[in-house]
Amino acid sequence: MTTINENFLKLQKNYLFADIAQKVAAYKEAHPEANIIRLGIGDVTRPLAPAVIEALHRAVDEMGHGETFRGYGPEHGYEFLRRAIVENDFAPRGISLSPDEIFVNDGAKSDTGNFGDILGTDNTICVTDPIYPVYIDSNVMGGRAGDFAGGAWSKVNYCPCTADNDFIPSLPTAPVDLIYLCYPNNPTGTTLSRQELEKWVSYALQHKAIILYDAAYEAYITEADVPHSIYEIEGAKACAVEFHSYSKTAGFTGLRCGYTVVPEQLTVTAASGERVSLNQLWNRRQCTKFNGTAYIVQRAAEAIYSPEGKKQVKETIDYYMTNAAIMREALAEVGLKTYGGINAPYIWLKTPEGVGSWDFFNSLLHEINVVSTPGVGFGPAGEGYIRLTAFGTRENCEEAMGRLKNWLK
Ligand SMILES: *Cc1c(COP(=O)(O)O)cnc(C)c1O
């Protein structure tokens, strides 16, 4: 008789985006003439950079000729891309990594979710709250989250991030083994300074814990004191894995590519007492369960690091961040308090006093036909906030802010 992984039955239905879609559809049906502007979903809208498109075309042509055709590639990723990564994303920040510490993947979601494969199910996890749901759900699947009761998982340590603590999480008070940090943060758009991140690294080193650091929004950082990589912090190579993604950096949400850094220094003690290299273990896992990202996509990713690629990618990021600035200004003008939007394409908006996340979501939908994401959908500490994204078109962004001013002024 077949049994199933019962942990999957514990997963909560992802009510959030389904609920949003349903509310928007119902509104649209009752008001077919409404011009609805979506500032809710965390997906990019600008096309790929010309340098990326040219690289894709070239790679496709190579695949059509016997002499340049490529079959299975290295599970780790092609050397040309891993080299470009260490030389462009790390060396200029004074971080020395070997291409063997880079694992090219099909996006950061896969690896943030899969990394738990090589870690014991008895590890205690710690997350900031609100949070990108993948970290928790993948640990529910892995049997580390306990049971869901009263809006939280019994075995998960939550570090609340709200306006009261300037969105700076306190270190866990109970012992934890796996710490998920995402900075710049989705959903709050806030960051940790170098000094704050140092506290987490020294906590992890002291408690023999591992930090799983999601740097998906690193390319959006504009302020000098915000670390782009956890490896800017001394000692981090001995306690941290870092996830990168070209999705938000270069519009690869549909193309699929990213990478994970697993430093050779990073070891964990096995039950036998032996120190085990996570780099080797992850390599073993990938060689068995992953056969690499498409060659043409890795060529596309490499093109981001060419001089034209860098310039074009930056132009797109600047476009989104100008949207963010327009939104922050407009929201401030009508007296709403916002966070984020300076080093990340997300604006975290405090709802008016006494108004819940869903109530404010409904007001925005009904009064000005703008779709947001209720903060409480990202965790209990997100109640009383909504998330707006800067990934829309300039036109929609300006139109939405114009409507907001008319409504609230
Ligand atoms: C969008 C996003 C990612 C990227 O996921 P991909 O699978 O690379 O598209 C990773 N982490 C966070 C927090 C994100 O918001």
User: Looking at this protein, which amino acid is placed at residue 324?
Assistant: A
Span from the CA of 134 to the centroid of ligand 1 (angstroms): 9
Task: Compute the distance between CA of residue 201 and CA of residue 239 in angstroms, rounded to an integer.
Answer: 7
Question: What local confidence, expressed as pLDDT, does residue 201 receive?
Answer: 98
pTM: 0.97
Span from the CA of 334 to the centroid of ligand 1 (angstroms): 31
**b (16+ CB within 10 A) / e for 342-356:** bbbbbbbbbbeeeeb
Asked if residue 127 lies in contact with residue 169, where contact means CB atoms within 8 angstroms, the answer is no
Nearest-atom index, ligand 1, CA of 182: 13
Give the Cα-Cα-Cα angle 74, 80, 84 (nearest 5 degrees): 125
Radius of gyration for the alpha carbons in the chain, expressed in angstroms and rounded = 22
Strand locations in 222-359, DSSP E?
A: 240-245, 258-261, 267-269, 275-277, 338-340, 346-350
Task: Compute the distance between CA of residue 306 and CA of residue 314 in angstroms, rounded to an integer.
Answer: 12
Nearest-atom index, ligand 1, CA of 246: 8
Task: Compute the distance between CA of residue 91 and CA of residue 85 in angstroms, rounded to an integer.
Answer: 9
Task: Compute the distance between CA of residue 191 and CA of residue 203 in angstroms, rounded to an integer.
Answer: 18
Strand locations in 141-282, DSSP E?
A: 148-149, 152-153, 156-160, 178-182, 210-214, 240-245, 258-261, 267-269, 275-277
Residue 306: CB atoms within 10 A of its CB come to: 17
- Residue having the nearest C-alpha atom to atom 4 of ligand 1: 108
Span from the CA of 189 to the centroid of ligand 1 (angstroms): 14
Task: Compute the distance between CA of residue 237 and CA of residue 230 in angstroms, rounded to an integer.
Answer: 8
Kindly list the distances between the CA atom of residue 348 and the CA atoms of 24, 337, 338, 366, in Å, as whole numbers in the listed order. 21, 9, 6, 20
Going residue by residue through the chain, which has 409 residues, state the pLDDT in tens, using 9 for 90 and above: 999 999 999 998 777 888 899 999 999 999 999 999 999 978 999 999 999 999 999 999 999 999 999 999 999 999 999 999 999 999 999 999 999 999 999 999 999 999 999 999 999 999 999 999 999 999 999 999 999 998 899 999 999 999 999 999 999 998 999 999 999 999 999 999 999 999 999 999 999 999 999 999 999 999 999 999 999 999 999 999 999 999 999 999 999 999 999 999 999 999 999 999 999 999 999 999 999 999 999 999 999 999 999 999 999 999 999 999 999 999 999 999 999 999 999 999 999 999 999 999 999 999 999 999 999 999 999 999 999 999 999 999 999 999 999 999 8
Asked if residue 159 lies in contact with residue 169, where contact means CB atoms within 8 angstroms, the answer is yes
Residue of 44, 131, 214 to test ligand 1 pocket, by largest number of atoms within 8 Å of CB = 214
Task: Compute the distance between CA of residue 327 and CA of residue 361 in angstroms, rounded to an integer.
Answer: 16
Span from the CA of 65 to the centroid of ligand 1 (angstroms): 34
| Contacts with 230 (C-beta within 8 Å, 6 or more apart), sequence order | 181, 197, 201, 211, 213, 215, 236, 240, 242
Task: Compute the distance between CA of residue 117 and CA of residue 8 in angstroms, rounded to an integer.
Answer: 15
Span from the CA of 256 to the centroid of ligand 1 (angstroms): 10
Phi, psi of 303 (to 5 degrees): -65, -20
- Residue having the nearest C-alpha atom to atom 14 of ligand 1: 216
Task: Compute the distance between CA of residue 351 and CA of residue 359 in angstroms, rounded to an integer.
Answer: 9
Question: What local confidence, expressed as pLDDT, does residue 13 receive?
Answer: 79
Could you tell me which residues are beta bridge partners of residue 152? 149
Long-range contacts of 325-333 (CB under 8 A, 24+ apart): 326/394, 326/397, 326/398, 326/401, 327/388, 327/390, 327/397, 327/400, 327/401, 330/401, 330/404, 330/405, 331/401, 331/404, 333/405
Helix or strand (DSSP H, E) at 387: strand 385-389
Please count the CA atoms within 13 angstroms of the CA of 224 that sit on its side-chain side.
0
Task: Compute the distance between CA of residue 246 and CA of residue 241 in angstroms, rounded to an integer.
Answer: 17
Residue 362: CB atoms within 10 A of its CB come to: 16
The set of protein residues with a Cβ atom below 6 angstroms from ligand 1 is 42, 107-109, 132, 182, 186, 214, 216, 245, 247-248, 253, 258
Span from the CA of 113 to the centroid of ligand 1 (angstroms): 11
Span from the CA of 247 to the centroid of ligand 1 (angstroms): 7
Task: Compute the distance between CA of residue 324 and CA of residue 335 in angstroms, rounded to an integer.
Answer: 17
Give CA torsion, residues 236, 237, 238, 240, to 10 deg.
70
